[in-house]
Structure 1
Amino acid sequence: MDGFSIGLSGIAAAQKSLQTIGNNIANAATEGYHRQRVELRPAGTIGADGVFIESGVISGDAKRLIDNLLEQELLTQNSASGQVSRELSALKSIESVLGELTEDNLGTKLGDFFTSFRSMAADPQSSITQAELINNAQAMVSYFHTTRSFLADMSDQVVTEARDVIDHVNSLTSQIADMNYQIKSLDIRSADTNNLKDRRDQAITELSELVGISTRHREDGVIDVSVGGIAVVLGSQSSELKASPIGEDQFGISLDGLNNFSPDFPGGKLGGLISLKNDHLSPLIGDLNNLAETVITQVNQFHTQGVPAYNEDSGTGGSFTELTGWAMPSTTLDTFTPTVTDGGINVRITDTTTGQITRESIIVDTETDTLASIATKLDSLSGISASIRNDSLHIEADADRKFDFLPGVLPEPTAFSAGYTGTAEASISGTYVSTTDETYTFNIIGTGTVGVTDGLQLQVQNSAGQTVNTLDVGSGYSPGTDLTIDPNHDLKISLAPGDLTAGETFTVEAIGNSDTSGLLAAAGVNTFFSGRDASDISITQRIKDAPSMIASSLGTEMTDNVNVKRIADVANMKLSSLDSMKVDDYYRKISVGVSRDVSLAEMKDKSTKDIINGLMAERDTVSGVDINNEAAQMLVFQQMFQAMAKYMNTMKGSLDQIMQII
């Protein structure tokens, strides 16, 4: 009967192999399917009375042809590809909005805005140049709003998409855990689990495209899965992830219930979304806000200290009768944005009846002062009153008075030496543009009459005691003629007829910054812009309604163009708030940085896909189904089946003959 056993084992082996080949062919196009083969081995020999005969073939279980190391590397590369692909698509959208490679972008609008100030310098009272400035300013503001809104909307969409991805991740980990349970249960009963393992492995592959994972294979066929070092599948148990903001601009992931949110979840689509939010969008929004805030602050700090050009024909422009800022909190000044520092505010007050001009000042202490206390301090000054209206600082001139915050010099000397006897009155004019204050001391050399006495001079020294000029005011000087005080600044002095006495002195104080605290700009007093950052930057309604109110002048005559030139020069300043870069360089850094990230992402995307293609080709060699090869194998086992059947018939015929003989 052993011959029949051999035949039956061969038929069973051929039949099982044909079934497995049929399953391979049926799943040739099934994603994630691993080719299977039936293990065949000799059944061994049977011996009795010194006679040994073979006992046929043993067919084992169908085994998947799989290279676990290769599969793990594919999971790793799938995660990398999922992350870089998601980042790349978003970065390309950001690049197109920033538009550094196009002629129409925020960078060009910034340039046009500052150029308009320089154009206005040619004719500060021209309604055409004023209107052009407002138009270009509005275009720049619109680009800030549009760009900021796009980045903010994308940031919100990224967070929403990340939450959807996490829901998908949680669904997959639950499915993987459930299939682990089924595999283990079936394996105990020696049931075939190959197709179920393929489905589970395909779910793991899909999971790797969503988030970076690591796997651990157990001997019982179960696979544990970790995400970012956190176990999300342990045997038949799964844990869910959840997302939450971290601080103001970060986004993190944690196991549900732990609330230990971490932004470090690289890999997969989820990793790409987290990277977009934390490493790209939040810093970009921060940089854009910083750029807008710097433009607002720098322009406003200069604008608050200037005055509109005075128009003699219409009597408009010049100093103010009243100014109102914007609403501010009632807290101490050290909480204000833009930042207010300890310093002082100088106010020029003009008596419109006599023409007398005086300068008074207040001290600003950010730790103790509030907007209300500043109003009280200003209200104590002679010639103006101040109060808080609707949470805003309001300053108003008394009757027959006007005020401004012009730096520079007063029209008369600040102080005279003790017992000063000179009768020649001095008049000071011009503008002083500097970042520091300066005190000029005029030493009188010689005694005599201005414009008459030979050798009568004024020796001008700065606060460091250096002689910056020597002015001849003796014979040959025409009283009333302007003389340059300091060749480095556009300051003039003229002397009226009268006498001067040798050894006597007088001083002229030149102020470079009339608001060293920055409070006026922070509180919106005589500012060009309102708003805090790229989301709300705007031209003040006062300037929109009357472009002639642009503070173009800085000199005491109030007809110059120095202030608009000073604002135009902001474009060429290397500002500490912009990492010591100029405005256009800082914007270019932002946009070029995105373009660089796009280029790097494109290279990573191509490289990763090339690696995956290579790994897939290698995987197909190990686990893929080749229809031609399977067909050849089918013929082999078909012939084996036929041969075994013929063998069985032969054995039956031989047995029949033996039985007849017997």
Structure 2
Amino acid sequence: MGLNTSALSIGRSALLAYQQALQLTGNNIANAANPIYSRQTANFAPLRGNVGGLQLGQGVQITSIQRHVLESLEGRLRGALSDRDAALTRRAALNRVELLLNPLGETNLGTTINELFSAFHELQNTPEDASVRGLVVRRGEALASSIQQTRRDLLLQREDLNADVVALTDRADVLASQIADLNVQIASSEAGNPGAAAGLRDQRTALLQELSSLVHVTVREQPGGSVNVYIGNEPLIEYGTSRGLKTVQEPAGSGLLNNVVRFADDNSVADVRSGQIAGAIEARDGGIDSQLSRLNTLARALIQEVNKRHASGQGLTPWTGLTGTYAVNDANAALNTTAAGLDLTPQSGTFFIDVRDVATGQTTRHQITVDLDGQGGNDTTLTSLAAQIMTTTGGAVTAAVQPDGRLSLNAAAGTSFSFADDRTDVLAALGLNTFFDGRDASDISVNALVSASPSLVAAATNGLGGDGSNAGLLAALVDAPVAMLGGVSLAQYHQGSAAESAVAANAATNALDAADVMLGSLQAQRESISGVNLDEEAVRLVMYQRSFQGAAQYLSVVDEMLQTLLSLVR
């Protein structure tokens, strides 16, 4: 009976082995469309035995389930996924910036720049026309509003990217915890039984891919089946422990805040190099911050260049009282020093104050000298400038330093005053007789006095109402080279900003296309190794089915043999 018992064991082992193999094949077929599933195959081995001194064997068994994965390919795939999703995030953000600076409609920042200087040109021809003066003011207000709106739109996009960094980092933190938990489960399941946790490994692979989509990671498998995960050279996950990720707000200059990714356990900075998080950070810091900086530079140049020219001209209405719009930090500091704190730095030279007798119409010109050569200890301060104005004009114009650091000028009774030929830039620096107010894109506006009274637009250089020569000089500023802008004009600088955004968006698109090609190639390679081929599975299905049927037939024969033996016994 020993032989027949062995024969039954052989048949039984075959039935069990091929039943399991059929189930495994069915599972492969069921997951054929599952992108994170890795194909599994059964490894068979004979059961060895000794029957009557003969090595006949004891049947077959499945020794292990093989999960078809090439870890080096998985690592390259995760890296390509990080690069693709970083490029995708970057392109989406930079496309929005490009659309903001290069809108599809006719109205844009470049248009409003040209419209202001076109209005100055029109004023040159008709300096006494109140409607044209009103047009100049409205165009100036439209330009200031357009600059401020562009800044607000850029800041909104920046805030969105900052919020994305927080949300994506929070998701990465959750994924890291889930991967750490799976590490423990896999190690426990595979203790003494390698390959037993194929399903858990697939789950971990999916989580690692999602994590790689957010941030570039390096994965190193450890003995026992767990993986350590690194961001840069720093561990994020070790066995069942995740250090965690968080964001911290930090100053970024110009009143801006950046959300910075840090490890939660010790607050150290995480070296985020790729993935959606890096794409958002790069678009924020490189794309948007660059355009914000350029916009501020454009606004400062516009304010200062227009104000320098405008301050030397005269409007239809002379001044009887005027207070500068810009204050100094220290009235006793030389006007060109950092202690004075003026955005526009004055220089040595002269300007003129023309005092007009209202009754007679007679005008007297007074020269004011500004000394800022740093020699002799007598450099001009706001205090000394006020004293010089009063002395030089013989009290016709009183000058006083206000408590907030601004300079106030007032004409004596029966007189008025105007300015001419400022070679020092001190008038523009102090905000006297200026067209624009503000310092940069955040607060640029038309001078409130000019806005309320367009007759104050300084179109003339000789004080005559019919003179539009200063308006012509103002109109020419649009194409004049500006040192602050690197020697290009206001119009060219804005065009450069628009072109820079277009080039950046195009580069991001090209990078995305290249990353897509690389990712597609690696995904195809993974599919050839880890993916399910239904034709191959169909072949295995038939093979295992026939093997199962053969085992069943074999058992039927053995059963007949047993019945024959039993009948002999009876």
Given that residues 352 and 365 in structure 2 are in contact (C-alpha distance below 8 angstroms), is that contact kept between their aligned partners in structure 1?
no
* Residue of structure 1 equivalent to 2:418: 404
Given that residues 187 and 193 in structure 1 are in contact (C-alpha distance below 8 angstroms), is that contact kept between their aligned partners in structure 2?
yes
Shift of 1:660: 4.4
Instruction: Say yes or no: does 1:207 pair with 2:211.
Output: yes
* Residue of structure 2 equivalent to 1:597: 504
Do the aligned partners of residues 105 and 651 (structure 1) sit closer, same or farther apart at CA in structure 2, a change above 3 Å counting? same
* Residue of structure 2 equivalent to 1:572: 479
Cα distance per residue 1:408-434 (max 9 Å; x no partner): xxxxxxxxxxxxxxxxxxxxxxxxxxx
Do the aligned partners of residues 79 and 632 (structure 1) sit closer, same or farther apart at CA in structure 2, a change above 3 Å counting? same
Instruction: Say yes or no: does 1:252 pair with 2:260.
Output: yes
Partner-residue secondary structure (3-state), 1:242: strand
- Aligned length in residues: 545
Given that residues 116 and 136 in structure 2 are in contact (C-alpha distance below 8 angstroms), is that contact kept between their aligned partners in structure 1?
yes
Match of 2:246 among 224, 242, 245: 242
Do the aligned partners of residues 246 and 390 (structure 1) sit closer, same or farther apart at CA in structure 2, a change above 3 Å counting? closer
* Residue of structure 2 equivalent to 1:292: 299
1:341-380 counterparts in 2 under 5 A?
Answer: 341-344=346-349, 346-350=351-355, 352=357, 355-363=363-371, 371=382, 374-380=385-391
* Residue of structure 1 equivalent to 2:322: 323
Shift of 1:68: 1.5
Given that residues 24 and 42 in structure 2 are in contact (C-alpha distance below 8 angstroms), is that contact kept between their aligned partners in structure 1?
yes
The whole-number CA distance in structure 2 between the counterparts of 1:227 and 1:246 is 24
Do the aligned partners of residues 258 and 558 (structure 1) sit closer, same or farther apart at CA in structure 2, a change above 3 Å counting? farther
Instruction: Say yes or no: does 1:387 pair with 2:436.
Output: no
Shift of 1:377: 4.9
Partner-residue secondary structure (3-state), 1:53: coil
Partner-residue secondary structure (3-state), 1:124: coil
AA of the residue aligned to 1:20: L
1:90-129 counterparts in 2 under 5 A?
Answer: 90-99=93-102, 102-129=105-132
Shift of 1:159: 0.7
Q: TM-score, normalised by structure 1?
A: 0.77
* Residue of structure 2 equivalent to 1:25: 29
Partner-residue secondary structure (3-state), 1:606: helix
Do the aligned partners of residues 129 and 390 (structure 1) sit closer, same or farther apart at CA in structure 2, a change above 3 Å counting? farther
Shift of 1:271: 0.9
AA of the residue aligned to 1:640: S
Shift of 1:230: 2.6
Shift of 1:277: 1.0
Given that residues 351 and 401 in structure 1 are in contact (C-alpha distance below 8 angstroms), is that contact kept between their aligned partners in structure 2?
yes
The whole-number CA distance in structure 1 between the counterparts of 2:73 and 2:364 is 90
Instruction: Say yes or no: does 1:169 pair with 2:177.
Output: no
The whole-number CA distance in structure 1 between the counterparts of 2:272 and 2:55 is 65
Do the aligned partners of residues 22 and 573 (structure 1) sit closer, same or farther apart at CA in structure 2, a change above 3 Å counting? same
Match of 2:279 among 272, 284, 289: 272
AA of the residue aligned to 1:193: A
Q: Which segments of 5 or more consecutive residues in structure 2 lack a partner in the other structure?
A: none
AA of the residue aligned to 2:467: D
Shift of 1:91: 1.7
Cα distance per residue 1:341-399 (max 9 Å; x no partner): 45355342436266443323343589997655654554444332112346232111234
Match of 1:218 among 204, 222, 231: 222
Which range moves more in the overlay, 133-142 or 250-259?
250-259
Q: Which has the higher strand share?
A: 1
The whole-number CA distance in structure 1 between the counterparts of 2:372 and 2:461 is 23
* Residue of structure 1 equivalent to 2:236: 232
Cα distance per residue 1:55-112 (max 9 Å; x no partner): 3223122221112222212211111111111122222222222126653211121111
Which range moves more in the overlay, 234-243 or 326-335?
326-335
Match of 2:146 among 143, 147, 154: 143
Given that residues 314 and 463 in structure 2 are in contact (C-alpha distance below 8 angstroms), is that contact kept between their aligned partners in structure 1?
no
The whole-number CA distance in structure 2 between the counterparts of 1:611 and 1:265 is 21
The whole-number CA distance in structure 2 between the counterparts of 1:329 and 1:227 is 49
The whole-number CA distance in structure 2 between the counterparts of 1:567 and 1:522 is 17
Match of 2:435 among 528, 553, 559: 528
Match of 2:554 among 618, 626, 647: 647
AA of the residue aligned to 1:283: S
Given that residues 326 and 429 in structure 2 are in contact (C-alpha distance below 8 angstroms), is that contact kept between their aligned partners in structure 1?
no
Shift of 1:18: 1.7
Partner-residue secondary structure (3-state), 1:18: helix
Given that residues 327 and 390 in structure 1 are in contact (C-alpha distance below 8 angstroms), is that contact kept between their aligned partners in structure 2?
no
Which range moves more in the overlay, 202-211 or 121-130?
121-130
Instruction: Say yes or no: does 1:59 pair with 2:83.
Output: no
Determine which structure has more spread, i.e. the larger CA radius of gyration: 1
Which range moves more in the overlay, 92-101 or 125-134?
92-101
Given that residues 300 and 527 in structure 1 are in contact (C-alpha distance below 8 angstroms), is that contact kept between their aligned partners in structure 2?
yes
Given that residues 326 and 342 in structure 2 are in contact (C-alpha distance below 8 angstroms), is that contact kept between their aligned partners in structure 1?
no
Shift of 1:653: 2.1
1:345-494 counterparts in 2 under 5 A?
Answer: 346-350=351-355, 352=357, 355-363=363-371, 371=382, 374-381=385-392, 382=394, 383-389=396-402, 391=404, 392-407=406-421
The whole-number CA distance in structure 2 between the counterparts of 1:370 and 1:86 is 52
Given that residues 100 and 107 in structure 1 are in contact (C-alpha distance below 8 angstroms), is that contact kept between their aligned partners in structure 2?
no
Partner-residue secondary structure (3-state), 1:202: helix
Given that residues 347 and 426 in structure 2 are in contact (C-alpha distance below 8 angstroms), is that contact kept between their aligned partners in structure 1?
no
The whole-number CA distance in structure 2 between the counterparts of 1:357 and 1:643 is 120
Cα distance per residue 1:144-168 (max 9 Å; x no partner): 1221110011111211121111111
Partner-residue secondary structure (3-state), 1:172: helix
Given that residues 169 and 207 in structure 1 are in contact (C-alpha distance below 8 angstroms), is that contact kept between their aligned partners in structure 2?
yes
Which range moves more in the overlay, 98-107 or 131-140?
98-107
Cα distance per residue 1:624-647 (max 9 Å; x no partner): 223444344223212212211211
Partner-residue secondary structure (3-state), 1:72: helix
Instruction: Say yes or no: does 1:306 pair with 2:319.
Output: no
Q: Which segments of 5 or more consecutive residues in structure 1 lack a partner in the other structure?
A: 310-316, 408-513
Which range moves more in the overlay, 340-349 or 235-244?
340-349
Which range moves more in the overlay, 576-585 or 174-183?
576-585
* Residue of structure 2 equivalent to 1:625: 532
AA of the residue aligned to 1:405: F
The whole-number CA distance in structure 1 between the counterparts of 2:343 and 2:465 is 28
Shift of 1:293: 0.9
Given that residues 79 and 208 in structure 1 are in contact (C-alpha distance below 8 angstroms), is that contact kept between their aligned partners in structure 2?
yes
Do the aligned partners of residues 609 and 355 (structure 1) sit closer, same or farther apart at CA in structure 2, a change above 3 Å counting? closer
Do the aligned partners of residues 613 and 601 (structure 1) sit closer, same or farther apart at CA in structure 2, a change above 3 Å counting? same
Do the aligned partners of residues 285 and 190 (structure 1) sit closer, same or farther apart at CA in structure 2, a change above 3 Å counting? same
Percentage of pairs with the same residue: 26
Given that residues 330 and 372 in structure 1 are in contact (C-alpha distance below 8 angstroms), is that contact kept between their aligned partners in structure 2?
no
The whole-number CA distance in structure 2 between the counterparts of 1:597 and 1:557 is 50
The whole-number CA distance in structure 2 between the counterparts of 1:260 and 1:219 is 28
Which range moves more in the overlay, 321-330 or 207-216?
321-330
Given that residues 86 and 272 in structure 1 are in contact (C-alpha distance below 8 angstroms), is that contact kept between their aligned partners in structure 2?
yes
Do the aligned partners of residues 556 and 139 (structure 1) sit closer, same or farther apart at CA in structure 2, a change above 3 Å counting? closer
RMSD: 2.6
Shift of 1:600: 1.8
Cα distance per residue 1:40-60 (max 9 Å; x no partner): 1333564765x3323322312
The whole-number CA distance in structure 2 between the counterparts of 1:647 and 1:369 is 114
* Residue of structure 2 equivalent to 1:431: none
The whole-number CA distance in structure 2 between the counterparts of 1:261 and 1:329 is 40
Q: Which has the higher helix share?
A: 2
